[in-house]
Amino acid sequence: MSLISSIFSSIRVPTVKELKKNIIPEHVAIIMDGNGRWAVKRKLPRSAGHKAGVEALREVITACVQLGIKFLTVYSFSSENWQRPKDEVNFLLNLFLESLKEELGALNKNGVRVFLIGDRKLIPYKILEAFENAEKQTANNTKLFFSIAFNYGSRQEIVDAARKIHKAAERNDIDIEKLDEKTFSDYLFTKECPDPDFLIRTSGEYRVSNFLLWQIAYCEFYFVKTLWPDFKRKNFLKAIYYYQQRSRRFGRL
Ligand code: FPP
């Protein structure tokens, strides 16, 4: 173990009370990576890793509500993930269907509002219906705005926004000369959310994989070796502790 990683792992997990209430990120984004490797390590099928990943997500959502985090965005299925083996894609689609149904009660109880970000046109009808049903059933919840990136790709999102802006300009709905960053953001899937303050990626990969490229301009990054199914409440609290040590300057001194 290197010196840096041994210092990292030696830090005691803070309790919710020990975290500074005034430095809680408003918006946390997560790339939940490592489900497959978690399963392979245990000689289980990759599907078992995805199933265990839902457990981890449940713990993190609950912790977000407890900490007063207002927005959580997770990368659950990228527009590139359709290229995975058919069996794995089908398993994942069924897992989304089941999880959305099974978790609805708990999400409502915790005041969580579900929102889908991604290209809805290319999502199979049954899946889209389940997402839209969850959105409808949770629409009045205000504790946590939980965005699920599904069939999502950030470059496509930006190109799509440019196309919509062009159309709006043709209709004279906007003056292209006055187009600014705020107006541009209003054409993204994430228009309802502030930019993420903190991006977590699990599994020891150090990349952003076409996730929220526009939105993470001033985000703090946290890359951790833990595989997603092992990233539980205590790992999340530790991540927030590290966030609280950062000095955010947004380009200023
Ligand atoms: C990445 O691990 C994980 C995924 C592609 C799927 C994540 C989905 C869930 C945890 C289910 C979420 C459910 C809802 C309802 C939001 P990987 O397969 O890329 O792992 P590997 O890199 O080890 O192969």
- Does residue 205 lie in a domain region? yes
Among all residues, which ones are annotated catalytic? 33, 81
220-223 β-sheet, strand order: 112-117, 144-152, 71-78, 27-31, 198-201, 220-223
Q: Whose CA is nearest to atom 14 of ligand 1?
A: 96
- Ligand 1 centroid distance, CA of 230 (Å): 12
**Which ligand 1 atom is nearest residue 38's CA?**
23
In one-letter notation, the amino acid at residue 110 is N
Per the structure, the count of domains in the chain is 1
pLDDT band at 3 (very low <50, low <70, confident <90, very high): low
- Does residue 118 lie in a domain region? yes
CATH of the domain at 40: 3.40.1180.10
90-144 pLDDT tens trace = 999 999 999 999 999 999 999 999 999 999 998 999 999 999 999 999 999 999 9
The binding-site residues of ligand 1, defined as CB within 6 angstroms of any ligand atom, are: 32-37, 50, 53-54, 57, 76, 81, 95-96, 99-100, 148, 203
- Does residue 13 lie in a domain region? no
Structure tokens at 31: 């790339």
E-strand ranges in 37-183 read 71-78, 112-117, 144-152
- Does residue 173 lie in a domain region? no
- Ligand 1 centroid distance, CA of 50 (Å): 5
- Does residue 182 lie in a domain region? no
Structure tokens at 96: 């989304």
188-201 pLDDT tens trace = 999 999 999 999 99
Structure tokens at 248: 């955010």
- Does residue 175 lie in a domain region? no
Alpha-carbon distance of 247 to 189, in angstroms, equals 29
7 compared with 189, residue with greater pLDDT: 189
**Which ligand 1 atom is nearest residue 77's CA?**
5
Domain that residue 223 falls in:
22-153+194-244
Q: Whose CA is nearest to atom 10 of ligand 1?
A: 53
